[in-house]
Structure 1
């Protein structure tokens, strides 16, 4: 035992393998799948230290901010790599040589795009409740980095399906994102997002709106029977309080007859207030008489 301990305390030169841990990757580059993950180094140190390396594998951080482009690839020169390793080794260890010069790093240029998130929601609302506005996503987009030929194929990133039933209140859910297959060399900034929506109770209100006839032949006037039409409007209770009949415009276009001789004009709502759930004409057509002025 004494002989063994005595020998371990001696200084030796030998080789050991370090696992490489890449860090400080430049924003314009990505690490490829074929990047070297080990390097062999010749060291001068005590037998105790070599025994330690045999039992416990040592990791070495490689700072990729010092990478350079040379002969069609990215490399870190031997001097730069030795300096990085020396700073991480104990003072009683001398780094003599490496098994390669320089260290080639599998890196490739990347582009980046901001891709909108498309929510997938199966929503069943309680009776007399509506979705007040659009479904919102936070964040509303994903930043993807990868080769141009990969990321240019992506139009939207969809969420996993969220199923909600009998909903009568505002909701918010954290949901996973589903990424397209075949993007082996691309990375995404996030993997989840928050889906939320505002739910309000709605009511109905009836408005009596005058009918406006357009494209009447010159020298003639048109009288419709009746001259107003009833519109049923569905919206939130607070919104209905703000709406007036003047916010609607109903038009009957005389040119639609095209000389057919019909005495019926079809009605069209050409103006309606914002933030309403539904509008419905009680009658879609109206009778008329054409009178010469």
Structure 2
């Protein structure tokens, strides 16, 4: 009987403890919700980043990374902003230039800021009315762009001209010491294979290692006209340059074949008289029995020139 009574007392104590804990937790929650439902006034830090920086200006590195906002609102609203810390993007394109500073007025941009952070500015105010950021003017320059575009043509196709870029120069701004040394920009590498028709497109400018500079455009358009090409050959006599007086020289062969590539439209325009192949007497050294022939003149619209024979045998007669 004694054991039963003791067991009953212990059960009552455990039950009471659970009940007490439940009511304590419940009352704590009620107290918490009552507290966060009250209005408070508190200053919170909001992270800030800067966008739309004017291309001709370099802003100071010593600029605020947080803005202080005084909020008078319910406790849960303040708690939300402290936990999730919404970021504000300050559009410096909306700032006013004054005495070497970009001045951003918070009240003038109130609606723009409200859209970003969903804060009712009837109950919140930035401690600062304006934000002034120092800047240095950038130097501007028009810089030539060189293509890094590799075009591999299908058999029988080629191009008579180099790749065209539009624009072929771009406006760049930045610190004067960097701008003054910048002579050329390059596109990113691009390769197109098996081409048998005109090509065109856009390619980015390579801005790697140029983080201090601002580019008014970061891509250019490229194009190239592709044509059907064919190969031909003509027989051209070999001439001797710098032949001393009273010196006779006999060469073999006296003519060589010049091979070339030309587009089909201009094939009929190619004649042997358009080419000139020479050997220079001054290139002959004692013991030599041949001299090297070179093409020194050819039409501007032919390409991939080569000779069937470059070593010309010779005999000198004094």
Provide TM-score, normalisation by structure 1: 0.67
Give, in whole Å, the separation in 1 of the partners of 2:150 and 2:51. Answer: 42
CA offset digits 1:184-224 (Å, max 9, x no partner): 44311112221222211111121111111122221122232
Q: Cα distance, 1:232 vs. partner?
A: 1.0
Whether 2:153 is the aligned partner of 1:125: answer: yes
Structure 2 residue 99 is matched with structure 1 residue 68:
yes
- Counterpart CA distance in 1 for 2:90 and 2:189 is 43
Does the aligned pair in 2 maintain the 1:222–1:289 contact within 8 Å?
A: yes
1:180 to 198, 203, 208: 208
Find the aligned partners of 1:231 and 1:61 in 2 and give their Cα distance: 65
Match of 2:223 in 1: 196
Structure 1 residue matching 2:316: 3-state secondary structure? strand
* One of 231, 252, 255 as aligned partner of 1:225: 252
Q: CA deviation at 1:27?
A: 7.0
CA apart distance, 1:61: 8.5
Q: How far, CA to CA, are the matches of 2:204 and 2:163 in structure 1?
A: 16
The structure carrying a bigger helix percent of its residues is 2
Structure 2 residue 237 is matched with structure 1 residue 210: yes
SS at match of 1:178: coil
User: 2:36 is matched with which residue?
Assistant: none
1:169, distance to aligned residue in structure 2 (A)? 0.5
Q: Is the 8 A contact 2:63 2:133 kept in 1?
A: yes
Write the distance in 2 (CA, Å) between the matches of 1:60 and 1:279. Answer: 61
Alpha carbons of structure 1 residues 68 and 41: separation in structure 2 relative to 1, 3 Å = farther
Aligned partner of 1:282 in structure 2 is 308
CA distances 1:3-28 after superposition (whole Å, capped 9, x unpaired): xxxxxxxxxxxx9x9xx999998775
Q: Is the 8 A contact 1:145 1:187 kept in 2?
A: yes
Shift of 1:38: 8.8
Q: Aligned runs of 1:30-49 on 2, under 5 Å?
A: 30-32=58-60, 34-35=62-63
Match of 2:168 among 140, 150, 158: 140
Indicate the residue corresponding to 1:104 in structure 2: 132
Deviates more, 1:275-284 or 1:234-243: 234-243
The residue that corresponds to 1:4 in the other structure is: none
Q: Is the counterpart of residue 163 in structure 1 residue 191 in structure 2? A: yes
SS of residue in 2 equivalent to 1:190: coil
* TM-score, length-scaled by structure 2: 0.62
CA offset at residue 152 of structure 1?
4.9
Whole-angstrom distance in 2 between the partners of 1:61 and 1:118: 34
Structure showing greater radius of gyration is 2
Which is further off, 23-32 or 277-286?
A: 23-32
Report SS of the residue matched to 2:270: coil
Q: Does residue 248 in structure 1 map to residue 279 in structure 2? A: no
Asked if the contact 2:188–2:204 (Cα under 8 Å) also holds between the matched residues in 1, the reply is yes
Point out the structure with the larger strand share. 1
Indicate yes or no: 2:295 matched with 1:264.
Answer: no
